[in-house]
Amino acid sequence: MSFFSLFKELFQNLNQQRLRSFLTIFGIMWGTATLILLLAFGTGFRDQQVLNMRGMGDQLAIMFPGRTTMPFDGYGIGRPIRYKEADAKLIADQVSDIDVATPEYMRSLEITYKEKKRNSSVGGVYPVYQELRNTFEQKGGRWLNERDQEERRRVIFLGNRLAENLFGEEDPLGKTVMVANTPFKVIGVMQEKIQNSSYNQQDRDRSFIPASTFSVMMGTDQINNILYVPSDPAIAPAVMDQVYEVMARRHRFDPKDRDAIGIWDTNEFWAFINTIFLGINGFLGMIGFFTLAVGGIGVANIMFVVVQERMKEIGIRRSVGAKGYHIMGQFFLEAFVIVGLGASMGYVIGYGLIQAMQNIPIEEFVGTPYFSPQVGLIALGVLGFVGFAAGLLPAWRASKLNVVECLRQ
């Protein structure tokens, strides 16, 4: 029997049992759409969390001063560890696997423009800070540069919400604000960015001035934090151990005393993200798989009924020379066509639902679902398995039927 004849006969059978065919195809269609939608949500949620974390910076580690909890070399416990700018340079020089290390001053100060006042966490930073923390400027403005640092200029870069609170609709560029009663010229405003974590205040409410200006203005060389980036995220734990050893030698504490200095390594978050979302997407995929499997069971049941109804046809074909694998191939093909019809409609419906959800305001919380090639391939693989499983037993049973028993029907 030719492929054309097989398809013609298949569609004639589907047409004769419209309700049964519709329900069978609907089960596959709904299962496919559910699988695609769940996988798309899982992918969108993962990407949104990654985007949120990028607001802190890429592969960044932040060092905070602490207190010793172990006696060491004649020193008791409870001794505070304080950083200076030289500590950042020492780490960069002595830990070869660190690409960059930079100090950060920080203090909550009042910023005033005309009658408006806001408290802001003012950071005294070096120009490299921008790349580490993804604090990029809006069009027309600029970030702090080396000349600002060298000449101790009184210039300030504002977070976008801080600028909005102080200036409203007025353009802040070039205007003068008072920082703790000291005039500063606004040189830039930060682009809006998604940020769901911080270690003092979100960057949209912060402001930044040159580290040299901050040190002179506040009369201190004691910094608040040190930021560094390992050359390879895979070796971040080893780099952290080296940092503890370098700082322990300089500040005289036991390198095993992890409370002497605190290190927030965001690389650990990336590893956590990969693990947790692998589990989440696996869970969502299993829900979609079981939903689709229900449709596959429906296909298998229908194919068993079809085999029973067409026993005489099978007997006639076998009696005129058809082999068992011919019969098996015919029923396999029919099962895959049914699954293919339902899957095609499921793909269209799933894609349509994903597109319909693009404008729903849920991005900040769970991300926006999107149809990726990965989602499509996973769904295709699951559908292939379901089609194979749904057609195997009915097709095998049809191929093993006794010719005489079939002709008796």
Query: What is the enclosing helix (H) or strand (E) of 176?
Result: strand 176-179
Q: Which residue has the higher pLDDT, 33 or 119?
A: 119
Q: Supply the pLDDT for residue 177.
A: 95
Q: Supply the pLDDT for residue 243.
A: 94
Which region, left, alpha or beta, applies to residue 69 given φ > 0 means left and ψ of -120 to 50 means alpha?
Answer: alpha
Q: Supply the pLDDT for residue 355.
A: 80
Q: Which residue has the higher pLDDT, 120 or 358?
A: 120
As a whole number of angstroms, the distance between CA 121 and CA 200 comes to 7
Mean pLDDT of 181-207: 87
Q: Supply the pLDDT for residue 345.
A: 84
Q: Which tens digit of pLDDT belongs to each residue from 85-105?
A: 999 999 999 998 998 999 999
Residue 326 tokens, joined: 């011919």
Angle at 297 between CA 294 and CA 301, to 5 degrees: 145
Q: Supply the pLDDT for residue 60.
A: 87
pLDDT tier at 294, thresholds 50, 70, 90: confident
Q: Supply the pLDDT for residue 310.
A: 65
What is the rounded average pLDDT for all residues in the chain? 81
Q: Supply the pLDDT for residue 248.
A: 93
Which region, left, alpha or beta, applies to residue 134 given φ > 0 means left and ψ of -120 to 50 means alpha?
Answer: left
Of residues 63, 100, 61, 56, the one with CA closest to residue 83: 63
- Res 195 pLDDT > 70: yes
Between helix 324-356 and helix 311-319 the angle, nearest 10°, is 130
Q: Which residue has the higher pLDDT, 395 or 22?
A: 22
Query: For strand 207-210 and strand 155-158, is the pairing parallel, antiparallel, or unpaired?
Result: antiparallel
Q: Which tens digit of pLDDT belongs to each residue from 318-348?
A: 666 666 666 666 677 777 777 778 888 888 8
How many CA atoms lie within 13 Å of 193's alpha carbon, on the beta-carbon side?
Answer: 27
Of residues 269, 272, 258, 271, the one with CA closest to residue 64: 258
- Res 175 pLDDT > 90: yes
Q: Supply the pLDDT for residue 385.
A: 75
- Res 359 pLDDT > 90: no
Most confident residue range from 240-244, 286-290, 396-400: 240-244
As a whole number of angstroms, the distance between CA 369 and CA 49 comes to 13
Q: Which residue has the higher pLDDT, 295 or 176?
A: 176
Mean pLDDT of 287-295: 74
Q: Which tens digit of pLDDT belongs to each residue from 50-70?
A: 666 666 677 888 999 999 999
As a whole number of angstroms, the distance between CA 350 and CA 313 comes to 38
Residue type, 287: I
Out of 65-69, 293-297, 351-355, pick the least confident: 293-297
Out of 41-45, 152-156, 323-327, 375-379, pick the least confident: 323-327
Q: Which tens digit of pLDDT belongs to each residue from 105-155?
A: 999 999 999 889 999 999 999 999 998 888 999 999 999 999 999 999 999
Q: Which residue has the higher pLDDT, 305 or 189?
A: 189
Q: Supply the pLDDT for residue 378.
A: 72
> In this structure, which long-range contacts are made by residues 320-323, counting pairs with CB atoms below 8 Å and at least 24 apart in sequence?
none
Looking at residue 126, the DSSP 8-state letter turns out to be -
CB 108 within 8 A of CB 155: no
How many Cβ atoms sit within 10 Å of the Cβ of residue 387? 22
Q: Which residue has the higher pLDDT, 32 or 62?
A: 62
As a whole number of angstroms, the distance between CA 378 and CA 281 comes to 11
Most confident residue range from 12-16, 117-121, 194-198: 117-121
Q: Supply the pLDDT for residue 22.
A: 75
Q: Supply the pLDDT for residue 65.
A: 92
- Provide the residue ranges of all domains of the chain, joining segments of one domain with +: 3-53+271-408, 61-266
- DSSP secondary structure string, 260-318? SEEEEEHHHHHHHHHHHHHHHHHHHHHHHHHHHHHHHHHHHHHHHHHHHHTHHHHHHHH
Mean pLDDT of 220-241: 90
Q: Supply the pLDDT for residue 102.
A: 95
Q: Supply the pLDDT for residue 397.
A: 67
